[in-house]
Structure 1
């Protein structure tokens, strides 16, 4: 399903990071509904999808799983490791053998659930966990990732590179007033201390990193001063000296005047999934609603809830010398 009413957004592509093909709503009415859906995690073969479904206030987050059936998706079910705690933001390791996520569940037996505090508010915190694929194909029991990365209990949207580096967004002492992106590297007995990814001025909020498995580019949500909405999707490319280039605003149908966040990569080249609360335009006078048509539209995917959208940024990658 293509949201033609957002075609106007392509006009911004001339000043942005190149053409992006039209956005398609993922699994209308099945995956993307009138609730909040974000953070698509596709298996390497593209046949299994994990994602987050939540209430509008995002106080009741649960990870669901669906399976591709031809051109459609099966009815989502609660993931085997979710359903009891505030679980969110699933992310596959590139080889598909682990699935990472964040949760407020007690880190160890007998401990209290994780909480966080910011601006005088206390809320469900997050630590990093993973499940590992077993010989029978099922996921094992959740494993808590130990280390300094969980300090502060505000770790969000993990993304894993092929070399084992884990990127995430967090509010930490060196993040300024907002959120920034961090990376940890695997060591012999865990992970290194978190290192802030240098992307520019700390007055800009940067969330939801998604790293290319080969580390060639990094996507994230934020506002670098040219966002069309409260948050847009940006891309930064790895430079020859190992640093990251200046973030570039993605054009085309990736970004609109609505909120865009939670970028994730699919298994195909240039296959990008984003969360967005873009709505279908209503023109007045509209065709007169009855109670049934009004309820159907207001409960549908394009009611202002966040949904998952698929776009193709292959042209952007090729323009920066990335072929596949």
Structure 2
């Protein structure tokens, strides 16, 4: 997929500190986009080790559309209890400034055009004066146990419905007539296997990515992709292959706003440590997607 060119002005609210946040020092040695990290090639590598990817927490990220703000959501188990934390990195004149958030609700997710920002099943829309009041997706979504949501430039949202049997169903909804329509399940090409979760839809809707557990995988959850067919249907699920997937659990795929990099999580154990694996954040050149796209 070619990157979508979108002109954006980042909402001021994402750069301001509020009473529930406090700033630390500016990391002046982190220059350039993506926290000044050296870009990866076609072999995935850990993103910002020790700063974003830490040994004590599982980490998930989302970039604002102009890549000037990075939201990090963290989780871990402590004495059998789940703990969460969140951190924001703002790009400033002298580098990147870390902001610690004392409230640990869901991190915001910005639509690709920056005109909506989602907080789980709720969202705000951009207005001439800033942002609207919080809105709900609609009654059809109220009883759906949703984990994650992503949106295309065409107004389609995709999300995971986590069912009690643990299988998980990936659904979509289109924006029509001023509202999102009743959610529908994605095709059997996608909703197959033991379970599926964390879908990502390309801004131009040319593909959907997600993580799922299938018998033909590499051992646990793997990343899969389905490309849009000429007739509008979704093609067969394609495993992203051994450069991305391992015997460990991979999940949470998403492509950066400029279309250059694929980010995902992998459950790994810290070197020389015993106990349970922890989720680390990896990134890889998004051209790996093009190597999988079927020729028409």
TM-score scaled to structure 1, two decimals?
0.67
Residue number in structure 1 paired with 2:225: 235
Q: Say whether the 8 Å CA contact 1:156–1:208 is kept in structure 2.
A: yes
Instruction: Give the aligned partner of residue 13 of structure 2.
Output: none
Task: State how far apart, in whole Å, the 1-side matches of 2:43 and 2:237 are.
Answer: 22
Distance 2:88 2:292 in 1: 34
Deviation at 1:150, TM superposition (A): 2.9
Q: Which residue of 1 aligns with 2:153?
A: 162
Task: Report the alpha carbon displacement of residue 134 of structure 1 after superposing the two structures with TM.
Answer: 6.3
Whose strand fraction is larger, Structure 1's or Structure 2's? 2
Hey, what does 2:106 align to over in structure 1?
Answer: 88
Taking only aligned residues, the RMSD between alpha carbons, in angstroms, comes to 3.2
Q: 1:219-258 residue pairs with structure 2 within 5 A?
A: 219-258=209-248
1:174-323 equivalent positions in 2, closer than 5 A:
178-200=167-189, 202-279=192-269, 281-282=271-272, 304-317=277-290, 320=293
Q: For the residues of structure 1 that align with 2:278 and 2:95, how far apart are their CA atoms?
A: 21
In structure 2, stretches of 5+ residues that fail to align are 1-40
Using a 3 Å threshold, how does the CA distance of structure 1 residues 91 and 37 change in structure 2: closer, same or farther? farther
Change (3 A) 1:67 1:185: same
Name the SS of the counterpart of 2:141 in structure 1: helix
1:159 Cα deviation (Å)?
Answer: 0.6
Alpha carbons of structure 1 residues 69 and 150: separation in structure 2 relative to 1, 3 Å? same
Between stretches 54-63 and 305-314, larger displacement belongs to: 54-63
Distance 1:75 1:168, change over 3 A: same
What count of residue pairs does the alignment treat as equivalent?
252
CA contact (8 A) 1:147 1:191 kept: no
Task: State the distance in 2 between where 1:190 and 1:130 align.
Answer: 12
Question: Is this contact kept in 1: 2:112–2:257, CA < 8 A?
Answer: no
State the Cα distance separating 1:207 from its structure 2 match. Answer: 0.4
The range that moved more, 53-62 or 93-102, is 53-62
Q: Which runs of 5+ in 1 are unaligned?
A: 1-19, 103-127, 283-296
- Per-residue deviation at 1:50? 1.5
**How far apart are the structure 2 equivalents of 1:65 and 1:41?**
10
Alignment partner, residue 59 of structure 1: 82
- Give me the whole-angstrom Cα distance separating, in 2, the residues matched to 1:142 and 1:319: 39
Structure 1 residue 144, shift from structure 2 partner: 3.0
CA distance in 1, matches of 2:250, 2:138: 31
Aligned counterpart in structure 2 of residue 130 of structure 1, from 123, 126, 136: 123
In the alignment, the residues of structure 1 paired with residue 81 and residue 231 of structure 2 have an alpha-carbon distance, to the nearest angstrom, of 40
Match of 1:50 in 2: 71
User: Is the 2:172–2:186 Cα contact (8 Å) retained in structure 1?
Assistant: yes
**Per the alignment, do residues 260 and 210 of structure 1 end up closer, same or farther by CA in structure 2, a change over 3 Å counting?**
same
Secondary structure at the aligned position of 1:185 is classed as strand
Q: 1:69 to 1:22 in 2, by over 3 A?
A: farther
| Deviation for aligned residue 1:94 | 0.6
Residues 16-49 of structure 1: per-residue CA shift (max 9 Å, x gap): xxxx712222222221113333432112222211
1:74 and 2:92 are equivalent in the alignment: no
Q: Which of structures 1 and 2 has the larger relative contact order (alpha carbons within 8 angstroms, sep 6+)? A: 1
Higher helix share: 1
* Closer/same/farther in 2, CA of residues 319 and 229 from structure 1, 3 Å limit: closer
Partner of residue 108, structure 1: none
